[in-house]
Chain A
Amino acid sequence: MAVTAIGKRGLTQRTAFSLLVLATAIVTIPVLFIIVYIIVNGAGAISWEFLIQPPSQAGKAGGIFPAIVGTLYLMLGALIFSLPVGVLAGIYLTEYARDNWLTRLINMAILNLAGVPSIVYGLFGLGLFVMAMHFGMSLLAASLTLACQALAMTITTSREAIIAVPREYREGSLAIGATKWQTIRHVVLPQALPGIITGAILAMSRAAGETAPILVVGAAFILPGLPGSPFDQFMALPYHLYTAAAHVPGMPKVTVWGIALVLLAVVLSFNSLAIFIRIRVRQRRFGL
């Protein structure tokens, strides 16, 4: 049974709702179009060689293997440097912090960290990790930069996951004589784990797609091999895509779409994984 209205007001309502539907279509249809377009146009470039060979002829031939590996390294690096501190910060905010000015300051900082433009993180990484700490244009510097950018997300998602753990569990544990840290370590964290993992995956997916920071901190367009240590230079998919699309004359279009497809596949599969876990956790929580 829907609320129906008759006459002029009914007409106004129908017109208004049609406009809302139109807005929703404008949001959704281009997304689907973009994804389908990239799949259709990029599929031609995808082959085993494309995925496992290094590039040749300025990227016009050969594959993108070092870029794929570089991106995986970056995702891992960003995760290693941002997840532990993010979780600990989340624990602090939920379990230890009192409602005072410091907590408000921390929350405000988190909020604003999320809004800092990626290029500014790039400048930060360049000034701090590349220059001041002498890591150079390296995988390490880029990972640390991306980790700083991911920090807001890992803290927020950890905090939400920890808050969601029912109080009764904590009380139950404390009541049998566990210390506060034991309670957190053995009761709260295991319960919050799926939520924390979801946040971690989202942070990795974000790190995989970021271009501006690594452009500043110094990704390389073409490297013959893989980085041998954290202090080596690296290739990465998004930077490779940017250079191939914008700076290499005579680049075959199919190769460009192919790189875009691989990047999109990495990012979106991680995103879907996170969404999937979230749905599963929610279902389990409601006993479905």
Chain B
Amino acid sequence: MSVNYEVLSNRAAPTSETKLKTEKVNLFYGTFQALRNISLDVPKQAITAIIGPSGCGKSSFLRLFNRMNDLIIGARVAGAVEIDDIDIYDKDVDVVELRKRVGMVFQKPNPFPMSVFENVVFGPRRHGKTNRHELAGIVEQSLRQAALWDEVKDKLGQSALALSGGQQQRLCIARVLAVEPEVILMDEPCSALDPIATLRIEDLMRNLSDDYTIVIVTHNMQQAARVSDMAAFLMMEEDRAGTLVEYGPTSQLFTNPKDKRTEDYITGRFG
């Protein structure tokens, strides 16, 4: 059985510069090991997709990079996770500062039940920006970047919950952009959206990848093939701990996988 994936060939090969890096990373929830020995270099200003069957720890892996796993009681990380060669699990690292640099978009659009405007300025306000004029500028710029400005510029004062699902997700992206991060983590950002909204988000991701380092978790392999430059395939081992099976340029992973398990997965034999 052969599956044809449309791999965008016009993408320049990712730069060799590494933005994020994990080295022999292990993640535990209490006694349960969720991730085992994952080493991975995420290139700068490119899109890296994490794929794999559900439950293999894709989201947990993604959440290593902004330390969202910290919020889970009993979570423990061994090994190194680095951003620009700085270990983010070091005691001296300010988590708040880290999350400013590493933004995150969630699976389900989760705008706050406030106005569109207040949603976008939530981050900047927390980081000390109070000048109304400056904030208005940030809102416009972020919404433009998120390709949402034209649709909402007349209803900035309205509740964000009145927007459609796709608009809400782009608002969440704008909310992240307003903080001016360097990295954007996306945890299955389109899984709650219809196909048209999904395509818009994918376009947006491509545009953003010129300036930002993007890591996206997706269960949709077409999507991974369409948007990503690099792809990593994760799988569960016997004890349900996630491990990295294969990692490489998307074109290669999808057309010429080195590992039998990768091939089985992308040709749809399991998962």
Contact = CB atoms under 8 A, between A and B. Distances in A.
Interface of A: 1-7, 9
B75 interface: yes
A141 B213 CA distance: 77
A5 B67 CA distance: 13
Contact of A4 (B71, B75, B95, B126): B95
Interface of B: 67, 70-71, 75-76, 94-97, 126
Contacts of A6: 94, 96-97
A7 B126 CA distance: 13
A5 B75 contact: no
Contacts of B97: 6
Contacts of B96: 3, 5-6, 9
A217 B161 CA distance: 54
10 contacts: A1-B76, A2-B70, A3-B70, A3-B95, A3-B96, A4-B95, A5-B94, A6-B97, A7-B94, A9-B96
Contacts of B126: 9
Contacts of A1: 67, 70, 75-76
Is the contact region of chain B dominated by helix, strand, or loop, or is it mixed? helix
Nearest to A13: B96
Nearest to B75: A1
A5 B76 CA distance: 19
Most chain B CB atoms below 10 A, which of A1, A4, A5, A7: A1
Nearest to B69: A1
Contacts of B76: 1
A101 B70 CA distance: 47
A84 B67 CA distance: 54
B207 to A, nearest CB: 32
A5 B94 CA distance: 6
A13 to B, nearest CB: 9
A215 B94 CA distance: 62
B153 to A, nearest CB: 32
Nearest to A2: B70
A6 B97 CA distance: 9
Contacts of B94: 4-7
A1 B71 CA distance: 8
A-B interface, 6 closest residue pairs, ranked by CB to CB distance from nearest:
A1-B70, A6-B94, A5-B96, A3-B95, A4-B95, A3-B70
B243 to A, nearest CB: 23
Nearest to B95: A3
Given A1-B75, A6-B96, A9-B96, 17 more contacts: A1-B67, A1-B70, A1-B76, A2-B70, A3-B70, A3-B71, A3-B95, A3-B96, A4-B94, A4-B95, A5-B94, A5-B95, A5-B96, A6-B94, A6-B97, A7-B94, A9-B126
Contacts of A2: 70
Nearest to A7: B94
Contacts of A7: 94
Contacts of B71: 3
A3 B66 CA distance: 12
A4 B94 CA distance: 7
A233 B130 CA distance: 70
A9 B127 CA distance: 9
A7 B97 CA distance: 11
